Structure 1
């Protein structure tokens, strides 16, 4: 059986290009997906795994932007994570890298919701696949590799086979990331562990740990407001 490379290229291009304005059903799919995450503990746990991956990608991405070297990351059995970047042990770059983890899921989630409801699910999925491949190369444990490979497989399936439901699924994942960002912020606020990011920031700066928690709260709140505005605009079109 021969492959028609022209048809394959056209199919690929169609899946990469923007979809145009999202249909009203997209919003219902997104809301249904996030409702499942809220109501079903197994889905909630799965979403927390994605939140951890995005959290560590936030550390790594900002670290690279400020000139640090991304050396790898792991996701632990308890769904905590750890990204390693090399560079100066103090200074603005280290501060920015340490701060970036907790708001990353909320910021990315909001941008994904806006993009999906605006008809850009295809480009979002392609960029996500590229980023996940980079993270796969930088994974430093068998568990981490398995989780990233699974995420790549699911993302690729949604991109290629999602069809008319693709934008709704992407929007729902964005909302789930937002929900997970608030969950993780609550967890770290209740934690008394000495190695938490806000306590590390307190050691790196003259500002107390509570100040850094508040900045994450503001970032999550701003991201949530942006996503809710996009949802409201889509609701108006239903």
Structure 2
């Protein structure tokens, strides 16, 4: 196989395909995602995926607001932080600080939606591009390992999986991100720390931390409703 053949196959893998027919894969994907989030061992292994999306959410929204995204870290305890450079106050600073917790829920709901519509391949292609670009922003060895693992797993699915397996994987990851967003929010509610986003936003704006936490719950709840509307027709 020469490089032209590889390029042709890569282009083909990036195109939309026929939607996977309804079947066993929907319930299996939901069950796998629920088990992964519920079991401490599997949650610890896959929680970095939620943290990566959280930190990239900070950075991407920061860039959209005119800030400069300089790097992010996924720590050994699976927490993380992102750094954006710009004015220390103002709307851009607030939006970039707010964007972390909703990001996994928004991405998760989008993945659930595209899993049923034949758009899994182009969306997974976009995820591969984002992960590859994010490599230049990692700021620790642990972060590099987490992003490389995510990139390798996503790339293997993109290249090797057929339509049904890819749709099931996209659905499972989408539900994992949604449930992970709720778990992260629950951790903030139960064990809030001074460096957590709601407390930072309270210091920036004077609005109480509980109000920012409530805003997260409303957005994650809306994303959950969106995902359920996409899943429910395929549960019969």
Give the TM-score, by structure 1 length.
0.93
Q: Is the 8 A contact 2:37 2:180 kept in 1?
A: no
Match of 1:18 in 2: 16
Aligned to 1:208: 208
Alignment of 1:97-176 (within 5 A): 97-163=96-162, 164-176=164-176
- In structure 2, how many angstroms separate the alpha carbons of the residues matched to 1:62 and 1:39? 30
**Greater shift after overlay, 27-36 or 198-207?**
27-36
CA displacement 1:155-182 (0-9 Å, x = unmatched):
0001111113111101100000001000
Number of positions where the alignment pairs a residue of Structure 1 with one of Structure 2: 234
Q: CA deviation at 1:205?
A: 1.1
Is the CA contact 2:27–2:235 (under 8 Å) kept in the aligned structure 1? no
TM superposition shift of 1:37: 0.9
> How far apart are residue 14 of structure 1 and its match?
2.7
Which residue in 1 is equivalent to 2:198?
A: 198
Whole-angstrom CA distance in 2 between matches of 1:39 and 1:62? 30
Relative to structure 1, is the Cα distance of residues 41 and 165 closer, same or farther in structure 2, using a 3 angstrom cutoff?
same
CA contact (8 A) 2:111 2:170 kept: yes
Contact map agreement 1:63 1:94 (CA 8 A) in 2: yes
Give me the whole-angstrom Cα distance separating, in 2, the residues matched to 1:205 and 1:8: 52
Paired position in structure 2 for 1:90? 89
1:74 and 2:102 matched:
no
Contact 1:52–1:80, Cα closer than 8 Å, also in 2: yes
SS in structure 2 opposite 1:135? Answer: helix
RMSD of aligned C-alpha atoms? Answer: 1.5
Q: Which residue of 2 aligns with 1:35?
A: 34
Please tell me whether the aligned partners of residues 47 and 177 of structure 1 are also in contact (alpha carbons under 8 angstroms): no
**Structure 1 unpaired stretches of 5+:** none
Other structure's SS at 1:24 match? coil
Structure 2 alignment gaps of length 5 or more:
none
Asked if structure 2 preserves the Cα contact closer than 8 Å seen for 1:113 and 1:171, the reply is yes
Q: What TM-score does the superposition give when structure 2 sets the normalisation length?
A: 0.94
Q: Distance in 2 between matches of 1:148 and 1:98?
A: 22
Q: Deviations over 1:92-131 (max 9, x none)?
A: 0000000000010001100011011211110111110111
CA offsets per residue over residues 50-98 of structure 1, 9 Å max, x none? 1100000000000000000001011111000010000000000000000
Alignment check: 8 A CA contact 1:21 1:119 kept: yes
Q: Cα distance 1:195–1:35, how it changes in 2: closer, same or farther (>3 A)?
A: closer
In 2, Cα distance between equivalents of 1:147 and 1:5: 29
Structure 1, 111-120 or 16-25: larger mean CA deviation: 16-25
**Residue of structure 2 equivalent to 1:223:** 223
Q: Deviations over 1:130-155 (max 9, x none)?
A: 11012111001011111101110000
**Which residue in the other structure is 1:177 paired with?**
177
